[in-house]
Structure 1
Amino acid sequence: MPAGKILARAPRTSAERRRWDRLHFQTELSRQWARSRRCRPATPRLRSDMPDPRRHAARVVTAAAEVLSGHRPVDHLARWTTPEMFEALARRSGLSQRLPGSSASRTRPRARHIHTQFTLSGNCEVAVLLDDGPRVRAAAALLVPRRGRWVMSVLEIG
């Protein structure tokens, strides 16, 4: 039984008229991280046992964009994301699959440019330009070292 009545109304603003964007993604995790982040100059501290963050960031952010666009199942990201991030991606990809009348674009998103910067805490902030065919998008992610590998804990795609 529905929780309330659904009222049909005309959109009032241009933002309401805009189509729903599959790849636009921002979680409460990224909002909390942005509030708690302090701007301090960082010196790179890459441990020798950690893999190259640029290659890993390109793979993980591209895979997340493929999950959001419907080209890849969300289970592929289980090992490379924190549990909170995986849950947010799974919820969002499930929502985009249930949208009526919209299908995934033919071209898969791919990384065009990757920029990494290390924080004082040893994490790695990543900025990626994603090309998904008709648009080029910016993505930001935070990679955290866990057990000798990088794990994505925050993702925002514009």
Structure 2
Amino acid sequence: MTAPALRPTVRPAPARGTTADRPAADRSTTSVQRAVVPPAPRRADFATATAMLTPRTRRPAGPREFSHAAAGPLPARDESGIRPPAELGDPTALCCAVAHAAIESLRGIRPLTQLARSVSPEIFDALHARAQVRVAARRRAAGSLPANQERQLRSRVRRARVVRIAPGVAEATVVVDDVDRVRAAAVRVEEHRGRWRVVVLEIG
């Protein structure tokens, strides 16, 4: 028998660009370059980059506008200015004092300025005009008492009655002994800036 012929072993040629074609020095350099791996980026780097790319929202200059539509309507203010009568107190003492002082002012024995804060400007002007007429009439009358003796004859309040007709409104009737006669005064008081004030005064 004839022995089989031996075939030569053919090795594939190395591909271009591989480490087999390169010199030993190049292969060592390539292996070293591949071994160096850059570090992975940190979260802080991403946060810094995001903050730099995101534009900041600035508030516009000038006054800002506010809306109260969501809060609902505001409660209405009380413009009447009327307080409960309990806070004003009892007006009886004021009615008696004003009636008493007005009668003595008409006689000229008490200064009318004492009533300036207790009565309205209209009442004060009316009392002033009436007092001037009464003083002039007494001076012309014959046999009038001297001024010092007339000042000694003081009047006094006999009785008074006060009726509350509405919140902050009251009316009173005051009876005064005026030396030789009895006089009655009708008084109406109303609330004014947190206190009572006489707005009507009629003396009989």
Q: TM-score band (shorter)?
A: 0.5 to 0.7
Distance 1:112 1:151 in 2: 22
CA-based RMSD of the aligned residues comes to 1.9
Larger helix share, 1 or 2: 2
User: Identity over the aligned pairs, expressed in percent?
Assistant: 39
One-letter amino acid of the counterpart of residue 47, structure 1: P
Map of 1:116-127 to 2, 5 A cutoff?
Answer: 116-120=162-166, 122-127=168-173
Q: Deviations over 1:18-40 (max 9, x none)?
A: xxxxxxxxxxxxxxxxxxxxxxx
Which one has the bigger strand percentage? 1
2:126 aligned with 1:88? yes
Q: Which residue of 2 aligns with 1:78?
A: 116
Q: Which residue of 1 aligns with 2:155?
A: 109
How many residues are treated as equivalent by the alignment? Answer: 114
When the two structures are superposed, what TM-score results if normalisation uses the length of structure 2? 0.52
2:136 is equivalent to residue 98 of structure 1: yes
CA–CA distance in structure 1, aligned partners of residues 153 and 162 of structure 2: 26
Q: Are residues 46 and 109 of structure 1, via their aligned partners in 2, closer, same or farther at CA, if it must alter by over 3 Å?
A: farther
One-letter amino acid of the structure 2 residue matched with residue 118 of structure 1 = R
Asked which structure has the greater CA Rg, the reply is 2
Amino acid at match of 1:57: C
Higher relative contact order (CA 8 A, sep 6+): 1
Determine whether 1:131 maps to 2:177. yes
- What secondary structure does 1:71 align onto? coil
Select which of 51, 54, 62 maps to 2:100: 62
2:40 paired residue number: none
User: Matches of 1:79 and 1:49 in 2, distance apart?
Assistant: 19
Q: TM-score with structure 1 length normalisation?
A: 0.65
In structure 2, what is the Cα distance between the partners aligned to 1:98 and 1:46? 44
Per the alignment, do residues 46 and 140 of structure 1 end up closer, same or farther by CA in structure 2, a change over 3 Å counting?
farther
**SS of corresponding position for 1:72:** coil
Answer yes or no: is the 8 Å Cα contact 2:85–2:167 preserved in 1: no
Alpha-carbon distance, 1:59 to partner: 0.9
Check 1:59–1:46 CA distance in 2 against 1; reply closer, same or farther (3 A cut).
farther
Amino acid at match of 1:59: A
Residue 132 of structure 2 aligns with an amino acid whose one-letter code is G
